[in-house]
């Protein structure tokens, strides 16, 4: 969108919290390398503020915020902190490495939080706000203050809190719908009332942060903007606690597509939305649902005869935005076993991947192996193949060989060979079915006994030779991790997905133990 087109519109700042709130989704923990890759994608896309983590949470979180702060070139980098002296000092230490750093501090304000979690009076909360916001402002010039559970806070008390935070030096005021309780009309009214009645409201930017518990996070975010907010807090793919946050791609494209109804604009380069979605999905091991708005596999797919007829005559009959506007190609180039390295490298670049020499060679070999087993290799196959390869780098436990014997009404047995830290181990195990035998064999070989929370399989593309995409979520000692894998053989995909999740949950356990020792 050009500067001329935006001249009569007000700018809305995009605050992305994929690396903080998004990573708090059970099983979505990312490695440092994955966080840096996501941060790069956000920065290149034009995100205004990147909330990189919660520095006091662990040494790993602190180090990740520092690393992101050092790497990001354009965006402001924020660190989250409770209204506690140690939290704010830790956040300040982490973001001082950024070209533009922000401390984002918060405190509960709703009666239910004060009574059951904070155990504080309203006057005590006001004192905490004044003291901690001033502390943060002494460390950085850019301070954001949030009223946790603002939408269930009485307006008169919320006004006092906002006024106190601004007087203490807050430059951004966030009124989050922490539990996804609000409806758009009351969300609009809350922002409009606070902004119009707090004396120094013009000295701060107001922000929305909406959760999707009732499926209204995007609608509430846009209603808040209509009420005067000029910052939207969101995540790629709507990742986040419980039902997730407002999806960045949805709020951005809603403002862009319906500029007639909403006279606002962002500085997001929308053609990078699809790429960012894939990067976050791979890093978090959270697959994007097919019918997800903007970036889902079916977002620009048409199967109905009526829809296809309309699309052939004029794409605008059934598409209110073009696939190209969000970085999705209208047509798919079919890759096969006769494709060479140059064609494969060009296809990877088109799909948004840049791999090092070793990673490229491994991906190319897997592509050739897949092409030998399939008639056609589609873009979705290549995406699954590369994401699967990247997600398994550095795994302690790796699959070497597997043989499964299955008979109707008879035995189901898995003969498994894995390497654990480079040492080969062989086991055999029976189960009530093929998958049960495979998972039990892995547990026997690894000496680990995690609880299986989720197991699902779907096809990456159509046809009987389609790759199977397997998804596994495991829980062990209070830690949850997800894994996925794609293979033409469903059983192999299942085994590799289980190993991917097991490797991740073991990494998380190690990080947690390290953090506990440090604390």
Q: Which residues are annotated as a binding site for Mn(2+)?
A: 21, 209, 211, 245
**To the nearest 5 percent, what fractions of the chain are helix, strand and coil?**
45, 20, 30
Token pair, residue 388, equals 């699967």
CB-neighbour burial class of residue 403 (10 A; exposed 0-12, middle 13-18, buried 19+): exposed
CB-neighbour burial class of residue 147 (10 A; exposed 0-12, middle 13-18, buried 19+): buried
CA distances from 232 to 16, 88, 106, 488, 494 (A): 8, 23, 16, 41, 38
Q: What angle do CA 426, 431, 434 make, to 5 degrees?
A: 85
Sheet with 397-406, edge to edge strand ranges: 397-406, 412-420, 423-431
State the binding site.
Answer: 21, 209, 211, 245
CA distances from 18 to 28, 267, 417 (A): 10, 18, 37
Contact 245, 210 (CB under 8 A): yes
Token pair, residue 222, equals 């846009």
Longest alpha-carbon distance in the chain? 77
Contact 75, 110 (CB under 8 A): no
């Amino acid at each position: 969108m050009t500067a001329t087109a935006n001249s009569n519109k007000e700018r809305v700042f995009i605050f992305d919290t994929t690396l903080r709130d998004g990573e708090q989704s059970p099983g979505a923990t990312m490695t440092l390398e994955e966080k840096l890759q996501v941060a790069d994608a956000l920065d290149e896309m034009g995100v205004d503020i990147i909330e990189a983590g919660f520095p006091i949470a662990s040494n790993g979180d602190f180090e990740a915020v520092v690393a992101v702060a050092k790497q990001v070139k354009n965006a402001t980098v924020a660190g989250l902190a409770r209204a506690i002296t140690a939290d704010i000092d830790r956040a300040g230490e982490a973001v001082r490495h950024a070209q533009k750093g922000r401390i984002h501090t918060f405190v509960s304000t709703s009666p239910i939080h004060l009574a059951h979690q904070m155990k504080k009076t309203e006057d005590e909360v006001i004192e905490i706000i004044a003291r901690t916001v001033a502390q943060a402002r002494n460390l950085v010039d850019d301070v954001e203050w949030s009223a946790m559970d603002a939408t269930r806070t009485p307006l008169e008390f919320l006004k006092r809190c906002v006024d106190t935070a601004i007087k203490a030096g807050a430059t951004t005021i966030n009124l989050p719908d922490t539990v996804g309780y609000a409806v758009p009309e009351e969300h609009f009214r809350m922002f409009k009332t606070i902004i119009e009645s707090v004396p120094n409201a013009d000295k701060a930017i107001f922000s929305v942060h909406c959760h999707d518990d009732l499926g209204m996070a995007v609608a509430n975010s846009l209603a808040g903007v209509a009420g005067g907010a000029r910052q939207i807090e969101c995540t790629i793919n709507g990742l986040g606690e419980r039902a997730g946050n407002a999806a960045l791609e949805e709020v951005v494209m809603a403002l862009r597509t319906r500029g007639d109804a909403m006279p606002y604009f962002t500085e997001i380069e929308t053609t990078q939305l699809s790429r960012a979605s894939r990067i976050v999905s791979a890093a978090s091991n959270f697959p994007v649902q097919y019918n997800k708005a903007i970036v889902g596999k079916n977002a620009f797919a048409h199967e109905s005869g009526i829809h296809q007829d309309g699309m052939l005559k004029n794409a605008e009959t059934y598409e209110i935005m073009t696939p190209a506007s969000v970085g999705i190609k209208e047509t798919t180039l079919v890759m096969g076993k006769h494709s060479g390295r140059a064609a494969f490298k060009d296809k990877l670049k088109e799909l948004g991947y840049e791999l090092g020499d070793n990673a490229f060679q491994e991906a190319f070999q897997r592509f050739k192996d897949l092409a030998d087993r399939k008639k056609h290799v589609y873009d979705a196959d290549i995406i699954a193949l590369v994401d699967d390869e990247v997600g398994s780098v550095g795994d302690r436990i790796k699959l070497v060989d597997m043989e499964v014997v299955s008979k109707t009404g008879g035995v189901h047995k898995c003969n498994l060979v894995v390497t654990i830290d480079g040492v080969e181990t062989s086991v055999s195990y029976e189960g009530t079915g093929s998958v049960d035998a495979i998972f039990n064999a892995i547990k026997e070989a690894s000496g680990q006994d995690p609880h299986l929370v989720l197991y699902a399989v779907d096809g990456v593309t159509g046809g009987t030779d389609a790759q199977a995409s397997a998804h596994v979520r495991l829980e062990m000692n209070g830690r949850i991790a997800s894994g996925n894998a794609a293979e033409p053989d469903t059983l192999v995909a299942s085994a590799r997905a289980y190993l991917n999740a097991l490797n991740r949950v073991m990494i998380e356990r190690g990080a947690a133990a390290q953090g506990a020792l440090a604390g």
